[in-house]
Structure 1
Amino acid sequence: MPRFYCAAPLVSDTELDLPAGAARHVQVLRLQPGDAITLFDGRSQDEYDATVTRMGRSDVQVRVGAARSMAREPARQIHLAVGMPANDRMDWLIEKATELGVASVQPLMTERSVLKLSGERADKKIAHWQSVAISACEQCGGNLVPVIHPMQSLSQWLKTPAAGQADHQRLLLSLRAGSTPVARLPVQAGPAWFLSGPEGGLSQAEEELAIVAGFAPASLGPRVLRAETAALAALTLLTQA
């Protein structure tokens, strides 16, 4: 059954005009009155049965049916802080991280980052990545849409409350000697932040800043992975722990 993200409040046994994005998607699929769909608001694990009641030229009306709670998220919240890879690799990373159940993504500008944006261009890129996450949730069955946070420099972000949460496990992807393999980390039940660099990784100075801020060095083994692959490998290991 087709699934659609709907930011509007969802209430059973009410009529609803779908937001523009969802309405356009329904029209592209050429659904007709009487067809069944599923709606979710991205903020809870509830999803709603719904039925198309009217198809207009640019609007679609549905009747919202029963709600049901569908827990498809990992038991542990894992947040990724990522030095943004170049080109379209960040799109791919966010899509796959959403499919794997990431709780949020913090895009970072680092010394070796190719992509460095600010102002309106940065806002547009974040909005684009948020739409990528929404589309991935529609496809994979996730009901909680991960938040794509505004871009920050690594040094700025390390000073924020999010990066300093003492109740979060904080891990830094590092190739330095003595880094604990992620697969061998003690199992923890609470949330975690995983910090990973762009192409070429974080600089030594950036790693030192992160360690001083409370991030523990961790590794993914002897192979050197691409920036986007490393973040997803860590996410997979941590959500299964």
Structure 2
Amino acid sequence: MADSRIFISDAELRSGASLRLPEGAFRHLVQVLRLRAGDSFIAFDGRGGEYRAELVEVGKREASAKLLAFDEVDRESPLDLTLAQCVSKGERMDYTLQKAVELGVTRIVPLLSSRSVVRLDAERWDKKLEHWRGIVVSACEQSGRTAVPPVADISALPAWFDAEGAHGTRLTLDPLAHHSLHQLPAPNGPLTLLVGPEGGLSDHELERARAAGYIGVRMGPRVLRTETAGVAALAALQAMWGDWR
């Protein structure tokens, strides 16, 4: 059985160091997985590589561990890939973020468009962001990634178009587009994928996207749900130009 992986961001990780497990790590390793003193696990801090580690002392409310050898393993995609995902309802968004991380996305930008059905106040958006960032960390732990993709603050789609720099290849999913992915040249630099919400992007938003340099692409003859579309496109990008080749 493979060792459990845990993300530790609030401690300095180095070979030979001893540390008290943060609350979240303690809860996951000891209370959920039932690890005991002498059991091993993998620790990483998102800056690349990972450490073999071992629990030293385990109490009812805290535990300590020792970091052993450092492994410079790199499981990141060669694609510099941003997913600009319009927010979808509940578990649909959770699913998209989880699978995007598994598929090697570099960063995630949640967006609100005219057809977005999720409407919250500022406090609840903050809680949503915290929840999404937790999903990203968990997906990194599960998938073996050693870098944690940042989740940007939520932005309105028009503001995103205005603020985004004109660089790299920019794609948006459009079932009526003339191009499919295999007709496009391989990207030379960063790549941004814009995915609409339930109901897709409006005609006006698609026009704004084209004016901002986005190329519309279709994903076959069928219309995909928002939680499927981005995941399918990311998988296709990895197969064509990333580390699935």
TM-score class, shorter-chain normalisation, is over 0.9
CA distance in 2, matches of 1:115, 1:14: 45
State the partner residue of 1:40: 44
State the partner residue of 1:81: 84
Shift of 1:117: 2.7
State the partner residue of 2:227: 228
CA distance in 2, matches of 1:189, 1:67: 32
CA distance in 2, matches of 1:159, 1:58: 49
Shift of 1:165: 3.9
CA distance in 1, matches of 2:173, 2:49: 34
**Quick check: 1:134 aligned with 2:147?**
no
Give the match's secondary structure for 1:186: coil
Could you tell me whether the CA contact under 8 Å between 1:164 and 1:214 is conserved in 2? no
CA distance in 2, matches of 1:45, 1:192: 22
Could you tell me whether the CA contact under 8 Å between 1:75 and 1:239 is conserved in 2? no
CA distance in 2, matches of 1:175, 1:45: 38
Count residues with an aligned counterpart.
236
What aligned pairs does 1:26-175 form with structure 2 within 5 A after superposition? 26-27=29-30, 28-42=32-46, 44-160=47-163, 163-166=164-167, 168-175=168-175
Could you tell me whether the CA contact under 8 Å between 2:177 and 2:216 is conserved in 1? no
State the partner residue of 2:211: 212
| Unmatched tracts of structure 2, length 5 or more | none
**Quick check: 1:2 aligned with 2:1?**
no
CA distance in 2, matches of 1:183, 1:228: 22
Q: TM-score, normalised by structure 1?
A: 0.94
State the AA in 1 paired with 2:63: V
Could you tell me whether the CA contact under 8 Å between 2:86 and 2:196 is conserved in 1? yes
Shift of 1:121: 0.8
Could you tell me whether the CA contact under 8 Å between 2:166 and 2:213 is conserved in 1? no
Q: TM-score, normalised by structure 2?
A: 0.92
Shift of 1:225: 0.3
| Unmatched tracts of structure 1, length 5 or more | none
State the AA in 2 paired with 1:107: P
Give deviations 1:117-155, integer Å, cap 9, x for gaps: 341111110110110111111111111111111111100
Shift of 1:87: 2.5
Q: 1:198 to 1:66 in 2, by over 3 A?
A: same
Q: 1:177 to 1:34 in 2, by over 3 A?
A: closer
CA distance in 2, matches of 1:110, 1:118: 16
Shift of 1:53: 0.7
Could you tell me whether the CA contact under 8 Å between 2:169 and 2:191 is conserved in 1? yes
4+ runs deviating over 6 angstroms: none
Could you tell me whether the CA contact under 8 Å between 2:171 and 2:217 is conserved in 1? yes
Could you tell me whether the CA contact under 8 Å between 2:19 and 2:65 is conserved in 1? yes
CA distance in 1, matches of 2:65, 2:134: 22
Q: 1:32 to 1:158 in 2, by over 3 A?
A: same
Give the match's secondary structure for 1:175: coil
